[in-house]
């Protein structure tokens, strides 16, 4: 490469504020109080807390330097497979921060919250149209929370039919949270292995599906980045035995405006608004995982839901078969506003175009890298592609070595060692928001790293070298985490 994205420029150390403060420093001026001081008993005050004394510049530089240690999608490409870390247009942040929206109290009477209720109602309608399903709850706070809500709906549905079931089918290409969500609802997960093409075999599903099985949880596109082409056949098999089909919609970024989940045979589908609909992702939240269902399952959705009576909006909780409330108030409202803004700004054609570009970008990366990285499933992919370290093993270089070396070149590593069915997996999702120039640079970087694996493998084993913190002993870090921070030269 003629030019690298990463560089070894200034990396500023920063101590804890308690180490940085000095007595007498001050960063604010407070008017002299004209209220007499009140005597407070010492036992009410509790032990004294030694807060650091800091000037304004101390505080500003401290948090600015901490922010410079971090890497985010605003800094550069963030190719995490299965996570859709795409760039978030700032207009969506602006709408969510509108004072009349951000400051609305969640306990306002319906008559005083018609604007915010309209946003929620229309977002429900938009998501129903996008998925092809009939009804939506906006309450779940994340993807796994949406899965849990879907399993609660499964449970309520079968209970309403007088015969509770105890098992659920989960393919090995499903997201890893699926079996945990099912287990929380008392279901035993029955694994369904994929075939040599990375797809589900309907005959195998038929052999596992029985009257004690509540249904199937499948991810489509699956975690190999492949579309389950026989999903209708699989859904028919499950329905014939009285089961339900749960669609993990975390990978919907590949198929917006392309598939109709209801026509595919899906009964319940969750969406990750913090992945597909351009709301913040990472750092523990906040997120949103709305659940979309068929008309037959609408009575079981969480309450309250926003409904429209004539020209007025209201919260409806008169649903006796509902699974109840799964989140305080109305979900993570600010995240919902961002998704609402994104959908309005993109429109039907824009959403479909976003998915087309996400698929194009992933297939471009797959074709450009398959000569230097092993490609376990050499077929057209959707929004992400999965490689392995098979060809680098002769140099004793593993996927994690290549991922760490990417950091030296200025890139956040992709997802590694997932999905588990690919040994040494490297899962790359470029998303639709990366231009061809940036993708070409990323491809060139990975090609350089594969060359280094053969000619200078020690560079990869010692990577990263240009970061503030060098490669950690990950086993030691997990077993004995140091929460104080580095005290020396940054190598801890």
For 443-460, the pLDDT digits (tens) are 999 999 999 999 999 999
Angstrom distance (rounded) from CA 169 to CA 220 = 15
Q: What pLDDT score was predicted for residue 490?
A: 40
Q: What pLDDT score was predicted for residue 285?
A: 65
Q: What pLDDT score was predicted for residue 478?
A: 86
For 124-140, the pLDDT digits (tens) are 999 999 999 999 999 99
User: Cβ(306)–Cβ(283) under 8 Å?
Assistant: no
Closest CA relative to residue 452, chosen from 465, 438, 435, 470: 465
User: Cβ(38)–Cβ(443) under 8 Å?
Assistant: no
Q: What pLDDT score was predicted for residue 489?
A: 45
Angstrom distance (rounded) from CA 259 to CA 53 = 58
Alpha helices in 25-110 (DSSP H): 42-45, 56-69, 90-96, 99-102
Using the 8-state DSSP alphabet, how is residue 267 labeled? S
Using the 8-state DSSP alphabet, how is residue 395 labeled? G
Q: What pLDDT score was predicted for residue 51?
A: 87
Q: What pLDDT score was predicted for residue 73?
A: 86
Bridging pattern class, strands 244-249 and 213-219: parallel
Using the 8-state DSSP alphabet, how is residue 392 labeled? G
Closest CA relative to residue 131, chosen from 252, 227, 260, 220: 260
User: Cβ(433)–Cβ(87) under 8 Å?
Assistant: yes
Q: Which residue has the tokens 């597909």?
A: 276
Q: What pLDDT score was predicted for residue 411?
A: 93
- Secondary structure class of 419 (helix, strand, coil): coil
Q: H/E element holding 169?
A: strand 167-171
Using the 8-state DSSP alphabet, how is residue 39 labeled? P
User: What are the angstrom distances between the C-alpha of 40 and each of 33, 37, 43, 138, 236?
Assistant: 17, 9, 8, 47, 72
Angstrom distance (rounded) from CA 276 to CA 347 = 14
Residues 6+ apart with CB under 8 A from 411: 5, 6, 76, 77, 79, 442, 445
pLDDT per 10-residue tile (average), the chain, 492 residues: 62 85 88 87 78 93 89 88 90 93 93 96 98 97 95 97 94 93 95 96 98 97 96 98 96 96 98 90 77 98 95 95 92 93 97 98 98 97 98 98 95 94 97 96 97 97 89 85 58 40
Angstrom distance (rounded) from CA 402 to CA 386 = 14
Q: What pLDDT score was predicted for residue 5?
A: 67
Helix, strand, coil: what percent of the chain each, to 5? Answer: 40, 10, 50
Closest CA relative to residue 411, chosen from 441, 382, 437, 431: 441
Q: Which domains does the chain have, with CATH numbers?
A: 91-345 (3.40.640.10), 356-470 (3.90.1150.10)
Closest CA relative to residue 186, chosen from 226, 146, 219, 159: 159
Angstrom distance (rounded) from CA 238 to CA 38 = 72
């Amino acid at each position: 490469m003629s030019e690298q994205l990463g560089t070894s420029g200034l990396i500023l150390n920063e101590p804890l504020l308690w180490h940085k403060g000095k007595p007498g420093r001050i960063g604010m001026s407070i008017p002299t109080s004209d209220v007499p001081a009140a005597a407070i008993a010492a036992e009410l005050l509790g032990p004294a807390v030694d807060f650091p004394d800091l000037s304004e510049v101390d505080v500003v530089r401290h948090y600015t330097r901490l922010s410079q240690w971090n890497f985010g999608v605003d800094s550069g490409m963030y190719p995490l497979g299965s996570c859709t870390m795409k760039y978030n247009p700032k207009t969506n942040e602006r709408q969510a921060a509108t004072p009349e929206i951000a400051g609305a109290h969640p306990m306002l009477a319906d008559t005083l919250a018609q604007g915010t209720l309209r946003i929620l109602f229309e977002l429900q309608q938009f998501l129903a149209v996008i998925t092809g399903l009939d009804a939506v709850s906006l309450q779940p706070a994340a993807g796994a929370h949406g899965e849990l809500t879907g399993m609660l709906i499964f449970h309520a549905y079968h209970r309403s039919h007088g015969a509770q079931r105890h098992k659920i089918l989960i393919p090995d290409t499903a997201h890893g949270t699926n079996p945990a969500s099912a287990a929380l609802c008392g279901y035993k997960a029955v694994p369904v292995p994929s075939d040599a093409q990375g797809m589900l075999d309907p005959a195998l599903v038929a052999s596992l599906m029985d009257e004690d099985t509540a249904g199937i949880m499948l991810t489509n596109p699956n975690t190999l980045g492949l579309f389950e082409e026989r999903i209708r056949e699989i859904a028919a098999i499950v329905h014939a035995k009285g089961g339900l089909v749960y669609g993990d919609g975390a990978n919907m970024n590949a198929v917006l405006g392309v598939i109709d989940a209801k026509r595919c045979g899906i009964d319940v589908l969750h969406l990750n608004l913090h992945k597909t609909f351009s709301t913040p992702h990472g750092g523990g939240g906040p997120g949103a995982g709305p659940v979309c269902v068929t008309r037959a399952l609408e009575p079981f959705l969480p309450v309250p839901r926003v409904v429209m009576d004539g020209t007025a909006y209201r919260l409806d909780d008169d649903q006796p078969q509902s699974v109840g409330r799964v989140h305080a108030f109305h979900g993570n409202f600010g995240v919902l506003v961002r998704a609402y803004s994104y959908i309005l700004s993109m429109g039907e054609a824009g959403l479909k175009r976003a998915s087309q570009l996400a698929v194009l970008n992933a297939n471009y990366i797959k074709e450009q890298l398959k000569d230097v990285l092993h490609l376990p499933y050499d077929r057209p992919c959707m929004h992400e592609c999965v490689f392995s370290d098979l060809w680098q093993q002769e140099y004793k270089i593993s996927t994690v070595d290549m991922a760490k070396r990417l950091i030296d070149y200025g890139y956040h590593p992709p997802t590694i060692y997932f999905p588990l069915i690919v040994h040494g997996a490297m899962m790359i999702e470029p998303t639709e928001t990366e231009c061809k120039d940036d993708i070409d640079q990323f491809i060139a970087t990975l090609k350089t790293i594969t060359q280094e694996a053969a000619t200078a493998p020690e560079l990869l084993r010692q990577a990263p070298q240009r970061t503030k913190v060098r490669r950690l002993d990950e086993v030691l870090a997990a077993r004995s985490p140091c929460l104080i921070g580095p005290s020396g030269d940054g190598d801890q």
